[in-house]
Amino acid sequence: MSSSRSPFDEKAKDLDAPDGKGKLPVKCFRSPPTYHFYELCKWRRYQIAVTMCFSLFLAAATLLSLYLTRWLYMALLYCSLCFWTLFLLTLYMSKVIENKKSAISKLQRKELCRRILTQRPGLDLAKLDPIVADLNKFLNKERLWRTPYFFYSSASFINRFRLCVYLPLKSGNFDDDVEIAMLLDAAKAWEKSVYDPEHLNEKREQVFDENVDYGKLPRDIYRSKLWWFLRINAKSVVAMSFAITLLAAVGFFSSKWKHCCSFIFLLMDSVRSFYDRGVNMTLETTIKLMEAVDYYEPGDDNSKWDEIAKQINYDLKQKKNISKQDLFFDGENCRQIFWSKLSLIIADRKQRQPELIPFAHKLMSKFGWSDEEIAAV
């Protein structure tokens, strides 16, 4: 732990020449939850905890059933307690695994940077798949990780690089690192691979096709934003109602007003997530939106903003392993979210995306916006 030498150094040559035989978890598992459950089950502590949990509940239920006659109530009570205990245990172990992955990624930041320097993937991750697959195999072979699936996908590799290396580097956390020069080179290589003005025009002409039918906007399907919100959050609202009703049935809530307050609290959290969807846009979606604005040059033309909104919504629905939901209600909503997101990028706040700051300044200059106008958004 105290040594600054990366164990990857001895295998660098092999890692640069992937055999192409490994598969990423995104191609082996049906969904991310399936992958995460597999990772959880490989941890001995989780296996022991789950076994002990079931054993204790079974023993307690057996003993109490000998003296109590309210069979149905007791069965419901213990099923509920078992479910919530396992749920909290799963959350805890998931957090432990996440922290462990973050720690490994920070310790191996030199190797992550070397791959960014050699591959320069940007947002085109297909060429990175075999490299990440071989890296997963190596981590498992060297007993640094319990399974050959440390990174779920190439996108998760990039996320680890950004969260554990790039953003801390931008915050000055690695200024005293002996490899600071290489880290800075990797950061510059990453920024150029994400936004390269020299190849932007060539790229956007291949991406934006005005002859494609991108479907309808939610504005043309639903009566109002309220109906749209209820439609896209229907499953979560039903799940929240079921969970709170189950807790109320076993006596967790002593009064009806607590039951109602809990539901309102969870519903407000859904509302907050709905209104923060622009702030929480992924890097890929954000740069796609910025490229669309740069390409269409909408200005105050609402019809062009409608086209941008349609295209981004369509693009999100084509992605795998994400919620098939629209991001924008209409063109006006798209414009509001765009300028709000642009102001956050310029200020480097909240969901930080400093690699897009040069692109944001270019768009500001193009549309004639000042720093004061951006800050007022």
Residue by residue, pLDDT tens for the chain (377 residues) are: 344 444 334 433 443 444 445 678 888 888 888 898 898 888 888 888 788 777 777 776 666 666 655 555 666 666 667 777 788 888 888 898 999 999 998 888 888 888 788 777 777 777 788 888 888 888 888 888 888 899 998 888 888 889 888 999 888 888 888 888 888 898 888 888 888 776 655 555 555 666 777 888 999 888 888 888 878 777 776 766 666 666 565 555 555 555 566 666 666 777 777 778 888 888 888 988 998 888 888 888 889 999 999 999 988 887 754 556 788 999 999 998 998 898 889 888 878 899 999 899 888 887 776 666 655 55
Task: Give the dihedral of Cα atoms 254, 257, 261, 262; nearest 10 deg.
Answer: 30
* DSSP annotation of 196: -
- Cα gap 170→173, rounded to integer Å: 8
CB 309 within 8 A of CB 278: no
Burial 307-318 (b: 16+ CB within 10 A, else e): bbbbbbbebbee
Domain residue extents for the chain: 9-194, 206-221+278-375, 233-275
- Write out the H or E segment, with its range, that includes residue 223: none
The token pair that represents 210 in the structure block: 């005005």
Cβ neighbors of 297 (< 8 A, separation 6 or more) are 304, 366
Distance CA 314, CA 216 (A): 9
Q: Rounded to whole angstroms, how far apart are CA atoms 164 and 160?
A: 6
Q: Which amino acid is at 197?
A: P
- N-to-C CA span, the chain: 46
Distances (CA, A) of 14 to 8, 11, 18, 116: 10, 5, 7, 16
* Chain position carrying tokens 């189950």: 246
Cα separation, 16 vs 354, in Å, equals 29
